[in-house]
Amino acid sequence: MQKQLETLDYIVFLVYFVVVATYGYWVYQRKKTKEESSTDFFLAEGSLTWWAIGASLIASNISAEQFIGMSGNGFSMGLAISTYEWMAAATLLVVAIFFMPIYLKNRIFTMPQFLSQRYNPSVAMIMAVFWLFLYVLVNLTSILYLGALAVNTISGINFTVCMISMAVFAIIITIGGMKVIGYTDVIQVFFLILGGLATTYLALNLVSEQFGFGPDTLKGLGLIYEKSEDHFHMIFQEGHPHYMSLPGLTVLIGGMWIVNLNYWGCNQYITQRALGADLPTARAGLLFAAFLKLLMPVIVVLPGIAAYTLHQQGLFQAEMLKDGALSQDNAYPVLLNLLPTGLKGLSFAALTAAVVASLAGKANSISTIFTLDIYHKYINKNADEKQLVWIGRIAVVVAMILAIIVSPYMGIDKKGGFQFIQEMTGLVSPGVFAAFIMGFFWKKTNSEGAFFAIVGGFLIALGMHNNLIPGVDWTTIPFLDRMGIVFLICVAVMIALGLAKPSKKGLEIDASMFKVSTGFLTGALIIVAILTCLYSYFW
């Protein structure tokens, strides 16, 4: 298997790098006409358009865990893994309609700020520390590790060099602030989608050629559906080999909602893109992101299914092995190595764009939480705007260095990168989501209940994960179902504590906040109709 890029590939990649760097520098220079403030640096307040917000959401979300991890799951379990993408589209509508008005009406800029305003500073501090550990030790490490693995497989460049290079590129973008991240993400998404579609096009043509029909994309699509029909079911029945990962209707009415609502609605990394905008702009950006989400399985899942179909025909037998065992995470890099010169450079740029954009977004969120919710509140309350911005930049560099150091030791490669991230974040998600959703919509929810949800919910989830809670063999219960159980326990305890000692704190909420424009409603109904058709057809 070829493991190097040709001259034309490097030229294409260089064009990508120069375009992103030049545009980012231009955006940065434009905003330097006025003194930089912390809200401008962290949130780009009032500066991002709806299309920049939507593109930035997708660029930050789609990274190596999708290109490598989700494509690998496409290889092993098929289209069903797309539920993370398609249910996210529905979730973005919920966040746009119900969550975003609450944040913007109450001038919420960070998620710990919400917890402090709704509950108390202690709850906010605990959650800020939780998030920092999660973002650095799970998200940053996974993005770096899987991205470096892919680039190493494609180019043959040393793994560590790949990791450091992508981290440095991300740091350069991140220290320019959220405005630079937001607008350069538009270019990143362009390369991401164009290069991703090119890989899907090649993979489907390869399938068509393998069965003697010549390069025919539509024929290839028909053939993978025919030859790998078992890989085109969205809902797994109990007893299915991958039921533990995606347990039946849980993906429609259970734990999958907790995963997505927590990720898209209670996550600094994501919500930060819209928190600096007005409500119509934020909603339009989230709607745009929802439409882009519908497209993602075409880019990241179909290539994995195509690779599986070809592997069943005897191709890639050696290439899919790692340490003598079949490795699903090799599926996407194997396909990229078959791309012709030039197109390989484009897909290489797309993958790099996805990794760098996600690293930049995650690093900015780490920086925001550390600077505004820890440094400014507990370390240096008198810090001026300039100091806050510089502390934010230092936090970016420190976080990236830590991620580089620890990522090889996190066991990311043991069960597939995408599943690793979902299961690790799933330890925190149920309790955090309970604290947010109850804090939004039930005025009696108190700080004791929020503390139990965040800390107690994590400990219960950890106990289940390690099968330490007696009475049940938790290893036989899918992790998405365990998340649902933890969430219900947290809500029940929060209700009991709230009834015993009702909170006197609340948020500014009225029904008129949740009204949407005709344009948004039309777009939302189109998305719901598409999702209904997809799940009905591929049930």
- Res 1: pLDDT: 46
Q: Is the separation of the CB atoms in 361 and 59 below 8 Å?
A: yes
> What tens digit of pLDDT does each residue of 202-230 get?
889 989 998 888 888 899 999 999 999 99
Task: Report residue 154 CA to chain centroid gap.
Answer: 23
Tens digit of each residue's pLDDT (9 = 90 or more) over 266-325? 887 677 777 777 899 999 999 999 999 999 999 889 999 999 998 888 888 877 777 777
Q: Find out whether 301 and 82 touch, Cβ atoms under 8 Å.
A: yes
**Residue 236 DSSP symbol:** P
User: In the 8-state DSSP scheme, what is residue 340?
Assistant: P
Mean pLDDT of the chain, nearest integer: 84
Q: How confident is the model at residue 363 (pLDDT cuts 50, 70, 90)?
A: confident
The lowest-confidence range among 94-103, 155-164, 526-535 is 155-164
- Average pLDDT of 72-97? 92
Domain boundaries, the chain: 7-363
At residue 4 the predicted structure's pLDDT band, cuts being 50, 70 and 90, is low
Beta bridge partners, 326, equal 321
Is 339 or 403 the better-scoring residue by pLDDT? 403
pLDDT at residue 42 in the model: 59
CA dihedral 381, 386, 387, 389 (to 10 degrees): 100
0.95 surpassed by pTM: no
The pLDDT value given to residue 491: 96
* Per-residue pLDDT tens over the stretch 246-261: 888 888 888 899 989 9
CATH number for the domain running over 7-363: 1.20.1730.10
* pLDDT range class, residue 231, cuts 50, 70, 90: very high
pLDDT at 177 over 70: no
Q: What is the largest CA-CA distance in the chain?
A: 72
Calculate what percentage of the chain has a pLDDT beyond 90: 29
pLDDT band at 502 (very low <50, low <70, confident <90, very high): very high
Q: What percent of the chain has pLDDT over 70?
A: 90
